[in-house]
């Protein structure tokens, strides 16, 4: 549609496009929040019905890996924000470096989560099913806990992988962005931080609540 520029319509200015993109992303994040909502809700509901079994399941999770991963994600949000500040001040090089660090931290999370932690869990027989490793009275409830665990972390991991793709795309497109025009960097940043927030709900549900009680 080449003649788009020929008409000075509401959508003409870059500023309007920026505003639209940002509000579009916020709306999308509202969608995502409600997407994850049912897992959190049913998780809490199911734990309430059978707390002791859920806590027994929770104690089989690897707290140290979870803690490290939380650190990784928080750090990656921070570095992304620094990258965003860099481009806002006009330093494209700075942005690329900080975003690359953010990307690497995110990738490390994926590696640790699925390469190390999941493998440990599967080896221990924590995937729900006939070969489930936890026996005794807590067996069925702990299976439910691990059903939530695998389902929730897989879905979060999937979102993170999409996020990694988007950050990589920003890095490869770095040439396009200037101090004045960089709304994609901001939009992806919103998404990237949102994935952290999801994790910050999952983390206590998986590792902390069961250990605390």
Partner 1 sequence: MNPSAAPASYLDDGHTLRSWLFTTDHKRIAILYIGAITFFFFVGGFAAFLIRYNLLSPKGLIGSAETYNRLFSMHGILMVWFFLVPAVPVTLGNFLAPLMLGARDLAFPRLNLLSWYLFMVAGVVALYAVVGGGVDTGWTFYTPLTSFYSKGHVIAAVVAIFIAGFSSIATGLNFIVTIHKLRAPGMTWYRMPVFLWSLYATSVILVLATPVLAMTLLLLAFERIFGIGVFDPKIGGDPLLFQHLFWFYSHPAVYVMILPGFGVISEIIPAFSRKELFGYKFVVWASIAIAVIGFLVWGHHMFVAGTSLFSALVFSLLSYMVAVPSAIKVFNWIGTMHKGYIHFDAPMLYAIGFIGLFTTGGLTGLFLAALAADVHLTQTYFVVAHFHYVMVGGMVSAYFAGIHFWWPKMTGRLYPEMWGRAGAIIIFVGFNLTFFPQFLLGYLGMPRRYFAYPQHFEALNLLSSAGALTLAVGYILPLGYLTWSLFYGERASANPWGATGLEWTTPSPPPTENFAVTPIVTEEPYQYRQAETVNHE
Partner 2 sequence: MNGYLPSATVEGREVDFLILALVLVSCAVLALVFGLILLYVVRYRADSGVYRGAPGRKTWRFEISWTAATLAVFFVLFIWGGDLYVRLFQPPADALQIYVIGKQWMWKVEHQGGQREINALHVPINRPIQLVMTSEDVIHDFSIPAFRIKHDVLPGRYESLWFQVETPGTYELFCTQLCGVGHYSMSGEVVAMSQPEFETWLAGGAAPGQREDMAAAGKALFTAHGCSGCHGEGGVGGSPATTGVSAPALAGLLGRSVKLQTGATVTADEKFIRDCLLTPDKMPIAGYPQIMPSFSGQISEENVLRLIAYIKSLKSGSRT
Q: How far apart are CB 5 and partner 1 at their closest, in Å? A: 11
Is residue 138 a contact point for partner 2 (CB under 8 A)? yes
Q: How far apart are CB 169 and partner 1 at their closest, in Å? A: 15
Question: What is the torsional sign of CA 67, 199, 37, 141?
Answer: negative
- 53 vs 72, beta carbon nearer partner 2: 53
User: CB-side exposure of 130: number of CA atoms within 13 Å?
Assistant: 0
Spatial distance between the Cα atoms of 118 and 211, rounded to a whole number of angstroms: 19
Question: What is the torsional sign of CA 188, 190, 193, 198?
Answer: negative
Question: Residue 133 binds which one of partner 1, partner 2, none, with CB within 5 to 8 A depending on kind?
Answer: none
The residues, ordered by sequence, that sit 6+ positions from 213 with a Cβ below 8 Å of its Cβ are 51, 55
Element (H, E) at 188: helix 183-203
Stretch that binds partner 2, among 4-12, 16-24, 49-57, 169-177 (CB under 8 A): 49-57
Q: How far apart are CB 150 and partner 2 at their closest, in Å? A: 23
- 83 vs 141, beta carbon nearer partner 2: 141
Of 102, 109, 93, 89, nearest in space to 191 by CA: 102
CA distances for 95 relative to 80, 164, 184, angstroms: 8, 15, 13
Is residue 7 a contact point for partner 1 (CB under 8 A)? yes
> Do residues 21 and 188 make contact, with C-beta atoms less than 8 angstroms apart?
no
Of 205, 7, 192, 13, nearest in space to 103 by CA: 192
Is residue 91 a contact point for partner 2 (CB under 8 A)? no
Q: How far apart are CB 3 and partner 2 at their closest, in Å? A: 42
Stretch that binds partner 2, among 36-44, 114-122, 135-143, 151-159 (CB under 8 A): 135-143
Q: Which of residues 119-138 bind partner 1 (CB under 8 A)?
A: 128-129
Binder of partner 1 out of 63, 100, 112, 155 (CB under 8 A): 155
Which parts of this chain interact with partner 1 (CB under 8 A)?
1, 3-4, 6-11, 16, 19-20, 23-24, 27-28, 30-32, 34-39, 41-42, 45-46, 49-50, 53, 128-129, 140-141, 143-144, 147-148, 151, 155
């Amino acid at each position: 549609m080449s003649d788009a520029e020929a008409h000075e319509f509401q959508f003409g200015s870059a500023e309007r496009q920026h505003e639209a993109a940002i509000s579009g992303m916020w709306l999308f994040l509202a969608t995502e929040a409600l997407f994850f909502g049912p897992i959190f809700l049913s998780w809490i509901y199911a734990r309430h019905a059978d707390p002791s079994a859920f806590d027994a399941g929770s104690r089989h999770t690897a707290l140290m890996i979870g803690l490290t991963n939380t650190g990784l994600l928080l750090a990656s949000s921070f570095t992304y924000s620094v990258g965003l500040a860099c481009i806002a001040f006009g330093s494209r090089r700075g942005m690329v470096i900080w975003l690359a660090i953010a990307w690497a931290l995110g990738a490390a999370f994926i590696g640790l989560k699925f390469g190390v932690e999941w493998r440990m869990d599967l080896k221990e027989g924590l995937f729900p099913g006939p070969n489930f490793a936890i026996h005794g009275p807590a067996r069925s409830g702990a299976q439910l806990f691990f059903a939530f665990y695998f389902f929730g972390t897989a879905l979060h991991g999937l979102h993170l992988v999409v996020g990694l793709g988007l950050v990589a795309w920003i890095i490869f497109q770095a040439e396009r962005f200037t101090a004045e025009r960089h709304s994609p960097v901001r939009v992806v940043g919103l998404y990237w931080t949102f994935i952290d927030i999801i994790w910050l709900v999952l983390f206590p549900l998986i590792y902390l609540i069961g250990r605390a009680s």
